[in-house]
Amino acid sequence: MRSVEETIIEQIRKAAEGVASSEVRLGIGDDTAVLRAPREGREILLTTDQVIENTHFVRHKHPARALGHKTLARGLSDVAAMGGEPLCFLLSLCLPEWARGSWLRQYIYGMFQVAKREKAPCAGGDIARGECFCAALTVVGTVARGKALRRDGARPGDLLFVSGRLGGSELGLSGLLSEASGRSAAVRRHLFPEPRLALGRLLSGLRASAAIDLSDGLSMDLARLARSSRVGAEIDAAAVPLFPGASLEQALHGGEEYELLFAVRPAARVPASAGGVRLSCIGRVRKELGVVLRTAHGVENLEPRGYQHFSGDRNGSRGE
């Protein structure tokens, strides 16, 4: 008779059967996974992330399927921001009593819907019992040697672009917490973000000078990119693409967008859209340090104010 732990592992293993990779020689079922060395001309990407109960989600507000989707999508978004492609992922779960049974089945289902679509197999992980739910995810990816997109390559004169429309996730979170319809576009935007993997690969080919995914809000992540590149930035408020119904405030400071912010040389030819995702030029990189916002009333400093979910604390420490 299987133990509870063995039953859960078997549940995950069965869900993982539909996602395979020739790069994963040995996956779930042994002490460690075995991966093939990257093919010539490729480099390895590694990223890790956590999803913690009452820090990143509220149990009675966030459906299990959506949370499983977001857990993997967040990690894949980091790979997208580097211009890479996923190779596999490792999943470690801390499970309280309430998270077992149907909740866990829905969580696994949501995660492996993303895994199948993005061809990202689960190569292993760990399970433990605890007082609150926590998922720790490690994603392994690859990128062409020397082609990884970084945060530190932006130069004065570069143009700044962003994918998609911003503010939808925070608008959706507000609706979710106020018990608005779970079918609204903004609520769905918050619950089911999409990692921009195809766009990241396109940007690598375009030789984008710098890139970052928008996990903590445009104002905060742009400040990070500028700081890493030792430059400043100016964005045009009128050029920031707004999600329908979202305010400029939500677009500038709302987190969990998982769109890509990137810089390109002025001569680069950036398409108006990529894979059905809108690409908008919102400003430029400048020599003077700091980030400023140009509005109809003039130029003002844009302070980084990333959103701290569920605490109301905009201190930028969320670390998404």
Give the integer Cα–Cα distance in Å for 77 and 196: 6
At 48, list the tokens: 């890790």
| DSSP one-letter code for 40 | T
CATH architecture, domain 4-144: 2-Layer Sandwich (3.30)
In CATH, what number does 159-301 get? 3.90.650.10
Q: Is the dihedral of CA 44, 224, 311, 162 positive or negative?
A: negative
> What does DSSP say about strands 298-301 and 232-236: parallel, antiparallel, or unpaired?
unpaired
pLDDT in tens, the chain (320 residues): 667 777 787 778 787 777 777 788 777 877 788 888 888 889 999 999 999 998 888 888 899 999 999 999 999 999 999 999 999 999 999 999 999 889 999 999 999 999 999 999 999 999 999 999 999 999 999 999 999 999 999 999 999 999 999 999 999 999 888 865 556 899 999 999 999 999 999 999 889 999 999 999 999 999 999 999 999 999 999 999 999 999 999 999 999 999 999 999 999 999 999 989 999 999 999 999 999 999 999 999 999 986 544 344 433 333 34
Entry pTM? 0.89
Residue 280 contacts residue 286 (beta carbons within 8 Å)? no
Provide CB contacts within 8 A for 297, sequence distance 6+.
none
Provide CB contacts within 8 A for 46, sequence distance 6+.
138, 139, 140, 141
| DSSP one-letter code for 128 | E
Extents of the domains making up the chain = 4-144, 159-301
Q: Which residues on adjacent β-strands are paired with residue 127?
A: 93
CA dihedral 254, 260, 261, 262 (to 10 degrees): 180
- Mutual angle of helices 4-16 and 102-118, in 10-degree steps: 30
Torsions phi, psi of 7, nearest 5?
-65, -45
Give the integer Cα–Cα distance in Å for 10 and 1: 13
Q: Is the dihedral of CA 307, 253, 139, 124 positive or negative?
A: positive
